[in-house]
């Protein structure tokens, strides 16, 4: 009777341990397959690609500036201040205070989730867009991020007509309509002061060159790229090559942080190796000047090869 009781107890213990193990294994398997099924965007990266990407991509990076995340550590502050050798010494903290009494003071795009699939087109200003017929494809993306003066009027068939975001700095600013987010790429404190000025006093019309004292844009759609985000791009993505990243490269990494699928248009030379714009004969300095076009091109090629972005060259 004793033996039977003990045996019975052992059987009960064995069955409960075994069923617990089974339940855990089942849950793990179903969770794994759930994640696999739930991959609605960007599912093509293999483990080697994922490792390469995770060594560069910092999900916790502050993309846009707000009051809460505005304090800059010593190194970031001086790195940023040195970009354009700013000599004036406006108080960064005070300028930030005014900034966010005027513009939305929030954590933009903190809505990342495995079920989100936001598609983005990043449209550079390369002449390789001419004759590409990419317009409809560009417009079909959720966000269309353009930069500097890149126009759409008269170029719709090749570049599309939708602009949800336009990345600019004072020296490259243009008017935009009320559907577009003005994204300021600040290289100095004066750029932040200029942003305030274009919506208020309109008294700043000179930086290192003439700048527009007013810009048509919706004040409630303004966002400012975080200086620390620019430093992170320079160090983590470009391994500190060149002076600082180009507007196009910064816009691309911005897109990687706020979108789930990224397509790139209008980057690089034309088929004939020319680096001009699609809208004028002006040659971009994206392959030279303070920017290391070679390193940027290599990262873009790797991102494409590893299926993290799709690049459209305009020719093949
Ligand atoms: O010339 P701009 O700076 O206005 O061009 C915006 C961005 O478009 C550049 O920073 C660069 O990344 C990209 N571009 C390019 N090739 C060109 C012209 C522009 O890759 N020929």
Dist. CA 267 → ligand 1 center (Å): 6
Residue with tokens 């004969």: 281
Task: Answer yes or no: 244 catalytic.
Answer: yes
Packed helices 293-305 and 47-56: angle between N→C axes, nearest 10 degrees? 140
Q: Which atom of ligand 1 is nearest to the CA of 282?
A: 1
| Helix, strand, coil percentages in the chain from 3-state DSSP, rounded to 5 | 40, 10, 45
Does the pTM of the predicted model rise above 0.85? Answer: yes
Catalytic residue among 134, 244, 278, 312: 244
CA angle, corner 135, sides to 134 and 139, nearest 5?
115
Q: Is residue 44 part of a domain?
A: no
Inside any domain, residue 29: no
Asked if 195 contacts 225 with a C-beta cutoff of 8 angstroms, the reply is no
Whether 41 is covered by a domain: the verdict is no
Residue 25 belongs to a domain:
no
Range of the domain at 205: 59-312
- pLDDT score at 32: 33
What is the domain-level CATH number for residue 245? Answer: 3.90.1480.20
Inside any domain, residue 2: no
Number of domains in the chain: 1
By C-alpha distance, which of 133, 123, 234 is closest to 180?
A: 123
Residue 10 lies in a domain: no
Which of 86-95, 204-213, 280-289 is the least confident region?
280-289
For 233-274, how does the pLDDT look when each residue is reduced to its tens digit (9 = 90+)? 999 999 999 999 999 999 999 999 999 999 999 999 999 988
Residue 137: inside a domain: yes
Instruction: State pLDDT tens for residues 71-108.
Output: 999 999 999 999 988 877 799 999 999 999 999 999 99
Q: Is residue 43 part of a domain?
A: no
> Quick one: CA torsion of 206, 209, 214, 218, rounded to 10 degrees?
-120
Mean pLDDT, the chain, rounded, equals 89
DSSP 8-state secondary structure symbol assigned to residue 274: -
Is 147 a pocket residue for ligand 1 (Cβ < 6 Å)? yes
Nearest-angstrom CA–CA distance, 303 and 53: 8
Cα gap 48→10, rounded to integer Å: 47
Using one digit for the tens of pLDDT, what is the confidence trace for 104-125?
A: 999 999 888 888 999 999 999 9
Q: Is 248 annotated as a binding residue?
A: yes
Q: Decide if 57 is catalytic.
A: no
Tokens of 232: 């992170």
């Amino acid at each position: 009777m004793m033996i039977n009781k003990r045996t019975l107890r052992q059987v009960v213990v064995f069955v409960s341990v075994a069923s617990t193990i089974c339940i855990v294994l089942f849950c793990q398997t179903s969770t794994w397959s759930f994640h696999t099924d739930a991959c609605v965007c960007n599912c093509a990266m293999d483990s080697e690609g994922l490792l390469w990407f995770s060594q560069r991509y910092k999900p916790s990076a502050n993309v846009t500036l707000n009051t809460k995340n505005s304090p800059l550590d010593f190194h970031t502050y001086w790195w940023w201040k040195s970009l354009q050798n700013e000599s004036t010494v406006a108080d960064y903290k005070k300028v930030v205070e005014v900034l966010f009494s005027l513009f939305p003071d929030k954590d933009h795009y903190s809505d990342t989730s495995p079920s989100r699939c936001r598609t983005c087109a990043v449209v550079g200003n390369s002449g390789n867009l001419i004759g590409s017929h990419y317009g409809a494809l560009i417009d079909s993306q959720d966000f269309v991020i353009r930069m500097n003066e890149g126009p759409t009027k008269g170029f719709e068939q090749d570049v599309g007509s939708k602009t949800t975001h336009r990345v600019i700095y004072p020296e490259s600013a243009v008017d935009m309509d009320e559907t577009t987010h003005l994204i300021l790429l600040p290289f100095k404190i004066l750029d932040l002061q200029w942003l305030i000025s274009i919506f208020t006093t309109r008294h700043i019309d000179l930086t290192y060159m003439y700048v527009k004292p007013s810009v048509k844009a919706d004040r409630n759609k303004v966002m400012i790229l975080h200086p620390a985000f620019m430093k992170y791009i320079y160090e983590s993505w470009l391994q500190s090559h060149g002076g600082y990243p180009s507007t196009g490269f910064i816009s691309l990494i911005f897109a990687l942080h706020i979108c789930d699928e990224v397509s790139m248009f209008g980057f690089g030379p034309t088929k004939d190796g020319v680096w001009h714009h699609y809208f004028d004969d002006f040659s971009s300095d994206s392959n030279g000047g303070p920017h290391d076009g070679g390193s940027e091109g290599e990262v873009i090629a790797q991102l494409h090869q590893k299926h993290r972005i799709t690049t459209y060259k305009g020719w093949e």
